[in-house]
Amino acid sequence: MGMDIGVYYNMLYPDLLLKIEGYQSRRKHEEYMWRKIGFSALTSGGLAPKGLTEEKYWPIDKDKTSGVPEFDNKKEAFKELLKQVQNKQIP
């Protein structure tokens, strides 16, 4: 079901965006299914840890960029990075 290079070059941009969105949706669904399988394997046999839920076992919707400062534009980000390098905070 992969895409060969000819199909990619002849594809319109909106079609590519739809394909990417579908791929991301499929990956998210697969991650939910793997979380359910893993949690079921962990809790099978009557070993249910107190307070453990599927979300605590495998957080999916967690913000993956936590701890990374957000900047409105790249110029500010580069200025901040340059300050950190000059102050030897970053090797």
pLDDT at 25 (0 to 100): 92
Structural domains of the chain, count: 1
Rounded Cα gap, residues 74 and 70, in angstroms: 10
pTM of the model: 0.56
* CA 21 to chain centroid: 13
* Whether residue 1 has pLDDT greater than 60: no
More confident residue, 4 or 90: 4
Rounded Cα gap, residues 19 and 7, in angstroms: 12
pLDDT at 83 (0 to 100): 83
Rounded Cα gap, residues 63 and 1, in angstroms: 30
> The domain containing residue 81 runs over which residues?
5-86
Count of CB atoms situated within 10 Å of the CB of 54:
16
Mean pLDDT of 45-74: 72
Structure tokens at 9: 């070059």
Is there a domain that residue 91 lies in?
no
Is there a domain that residue 16 lies in?
yes
